[in-house]
Amino acid sequence: MTTPLLAGMKRSTLWTGTVIDCDVHANVPSIETLFDYMDPVWVQGTQERGWHGPTGPRLSYPPGAATTARDEWRHDGLMPASKLSMLQNDILDPWQVDRAVLNCYYGIDSLRHPDWAAALASAVNNWIIAEWLDKDPRLVASLVIPARDPIAAAAEIDRVGSHPGFVQVMLPVRSERLYGQRIFNPIYEAATRNDLVIGLHWGGTTEDAPSPTGYASWYAEQYAAETQVYIAQLTSMVFEGTFQKFPALRVAVMEGGFSWVPTWGWSMNKKWKGLRRETPWVDRLPLEIIRDHVRFSVAPADLGSPEHSQRIIEWLGSEDLLMFATDYPHRHDDDIDELLAIIPATMKPKLMSETARAWYKL
């Protein structure tokens, strides 16, 4: 998404206003990196077993895939986005980023061990605080949780959620159960108690099929079909009444795109008009609930032609739903200039910073 800058276009040519990047990544380079931040019980457990860490990241982001990192962001054979200096040199400095929301996807959920998963989440959060948040005031971050265990997840949210650098709880989009179901309420209670956004992010459990109906054969297929899972999770939250139960809940969709939102919203609206008696707590049009409670990162934007994309922006029915992101170090289409060209002038500052500032209270 950053080619206009990297290809020689100056940031000032693209956008002179403030930039908040709502999705940049920190990658854990190795399990050993976390040893200083982990209870010794689990350090020994890792060493004893010769464990190399969760499988999730490599499945969600195959190391060599073109989408996993841009060539210019692969430094000296090191894992991309695994050091603060990389993020600073590649994104924060050249983009003159005012604030950036750091997301560490480490595949905590590929671990079934209930205690180890919780310990691993704590270690990652400690590492994020020490190695990233404490070292660059431009950064805020998502905390990670053992999402399979909502009670343990809530405890971890309460343990670190009051740290001023944490603004969000990362919820990997794939899960064994739909996130609107009441078993997850402790997570939303803890998130709202700590005034944190719920960040629905690519990734999640590895043993269940990554689509609602089975396994994809290829990575491109899986990546493209992931939209279905975002839709399934948000639809669940709407109809289960998560937003009525937690009126203050704010959700951000990251790496999920947004072009599908209008047509999906129309479909929910249609069904609701005639079937709403099943779920009377859904007290207004579902798309209105989405507009009130959900924001979307624009990496990927998945744009079509300018004419068609402009139509989609209009169909969103609000200028307040989209938030700029680079999704560093992942590679998507380089289309932020195209997106800026088709949106109303009044929407540009909202897209580039204001919406994220309001959503994350930055």
Residues near other proteins (CB under 8 A) are: 182, 240-242, 244-245, 272-277, 279-281, 283, 285
Question: Quick one: tokens of 140?
Answer: 């805020």
Which CB sits closer to other proteins, 228 or 236? 236
Which CB sits closer to other proteins, 215 or 281? 281
Which CB sits closer to other proteins, 135 or 182? 182
Which CB sits closer to other proteins, 41 or 248? 248
117: Cβ–Cβ under 8 A, 6 or more apart, which residues? 108, 109, 111, 146, 148, 149, 152
**CB 331: neighbour CB atoms within 10 A?**
21
Query: Taking the complex as a whole, how short is the minimal distance between the CB of residue 182 and other proteins, in angstroms?
Result: 7
Facing residues of 101 across strands? Answer: 140
Which CB sits closer to other proteins, 58 or 245? 245
Query: Taking the complex as a whole, how short is the minimal distance between the CB of residue 246 and other proteins, in angstroms?
Result: 10
Query: Taking the complex as a whole, how short is the minimal distance between the CB of residue 282 and other proteins, in angstroms?
Result: 9
Query: Taking the complex as a whole, how short is the minimal distance between the CB of residue 232 and other proteins, in angstroms?
Result: 18
Which CB sits closer to other proteins, 18 or 279? 279
Query: Taking the complex as a whole, how short is the minimal distance between the CB of residue 277 and other proteins, in angstroms?
Result: 5
3-state helix, strand, coil in the chain (%, to 5): 50, 15, 40
Give how far Cα 242 sits from Cα of 29, 48, 182, 281, 292, Å.
36, 42, 8, 10, 13
Query: Taking the complex as a whole, how short is the minimal distance between the CB of residue 269 and other proteins, in angstroms?
Result: 9
Which CB sits closer to other proteins, 111 or 249? 249
Which CB sits closer to other proteins, 29 or 241? 241
Question: Quick one: tokens of 361?
Answer: 């209270």
Q: Which residue intervals of the chain are DSSP H helices?
A: 3-6, 11-14, 40-49, 56-60, 84-87, 114-131, 150-160, 185-193, 219-240, 242-245, 261-275, 286-293, 306-316, 336-342, 348-349, 355-359
Which position has the token pair 């990546």?
A: 223
**CB 288: neighbour CB atoms within 10 A?**
14
Closest C-alpha to 120, from 106, 130, 134, 133: 106
Which CB sits closer to other proteins, 88 or 244? 244
Query: Taking the complex as a whole, how short is the minimal distance between the CB of residue 291 and other proteins, in angstroms?
Result: 17
Query: Taking the complex as a whole, how short is the minimal distance between the CB of residue 4 and other proteins, in angstroms?
Result: 44
Tell me 144's DSSP state.
Answer: P
Facing residues of 211 across strands? Answer: 214
Closest C-alpha to 269, from 317, 228, 229, 312: 317
Query: Taking the complex as a whole, how short is the minimal distance between the CB of residue 168 and other proteins, in angstroms?
Result: 24
